Amino acid sequence: MANSKYEYVRHFEQNDTLLPNTYIVIRIDGRGFHRFSQTHHFAKPNDRRAIDLMNHCAIQVMIDLHDIILAYGQSDEYSFVLPKACNLYSRRASKLSSTVVSLFASNYVMAWSRFFGDEPLQYPPCFDSRTVCYPSDQNLRDYLSWRQADCHINNLYNTTFWSLVHDGKTEIEAEEKLKGTFSKDKNEILFTDYNINYNNIEPIYRKGSTILRLKKMVTSISPRNGEQVQRLKKVPTAVYEDIIGQAFWDEHSDLLA
């Protein structure tokens, strides 16, 4: 077909191809989830329904986009990692990040009632997204460590803060008491005043969620003869492990191939 005289406008499009031979991280984050969590009565400091829904969405994104090797999520954010050799959408940044965030958000709405039951979805949730390239294994590990350290710092603070508030302090008093405290001080308050050993809190809250493609035995029906067949398949699965230390990377050494 002949080009129309309007076709030249295509040349106004900016090239946003990401640097080759680098890990691509796409991070999505809930927009205004401070208000969203209040409107939908999220439990404090952690709402298991909200975390499970976020994990469900990340798993659906990974089922759809086979190139993603790992995802890490905490609070209202999720990071998706693409390998260095990935050529999905010719590594175009906006195509990659918009596809991931759109898939995530539509899954969030579709699965809302499965996780939140009678709590109605009051307005459409929205997520932003960005892409960042990391050239070395160490850079990628440091990025993921940064997010997991953020999870730890926020969770320790929030656990202590809400223990004080549930104990009768006002939010201003609790904030005042925690001002300038170090981790060891918050651990001490939790242990001495509330008999909570922080290290015994469920790992999903302390460590966040990592989605890996783990080999699992799955049963399917053969289309040829209708018989059940069992086979090993890589299935996106949530684990709640420490991803800062070396042990995780030794156990999953294929991730940084």
- The region of 23-31, 97-105, 193-201, 238-246 touching ligand DGT under the rule CB under 6 A is 23-31
Min separation Cβ 133 and ligand DGT, Å: 22
Is residue 220 within 8 Å of 229, Cβ to Cβ? Answer: yes
Rounded to 5 degrees, φ, ψ at 16 are: -125, 35
**Smallest distance from the beta carbon of 116 to Mg ion, in angstroms?**
18
Residue 33 makes contact with Mg ion by CB under 5 A: yes
Q: d(Cα 10, Cα 114) in Å, to the nearest integer?
A: 43
Select from 23, 45, 70, 77 the one that contacts Mg ion (CB under 5 A). Answer: 77
- Rounded to a whole number of angstroms, the minimum distance from the CB of residue 162 to Mg ion is 18
SS3 29: strand
CB nearer to ligand DGT: pick between 151 and 211: 151
Cis amide leading into 45 (omega within 30): yes
Q: What b/e sequence results for 99-116 when a residue is b if at least 16 CB atoms lie within 10 Å of its CB, and e otherwise?
A: bbbebbbebbeeebeebb
The two tokens of residue 88 are 């999905």
| Binding residue for ligand DGT, selected from 32, 185, 197, 245, defined by CB under 6 A | 32
CB of 127 to Mg ion, least distance (A): 8
CA distance 97 to 99: 5
Q: Which of 5, 10, 11, 34 binds ligand DGT (CB under 6 A)?
A: 34
Contact footprint for Mg ion (CB under 5 A) = 29-30, 33, 75-77
Contact footprint for ligand DGT (CB under 6 A) = 29-34, 37, 42, 44, 46-47, 50, 75-76
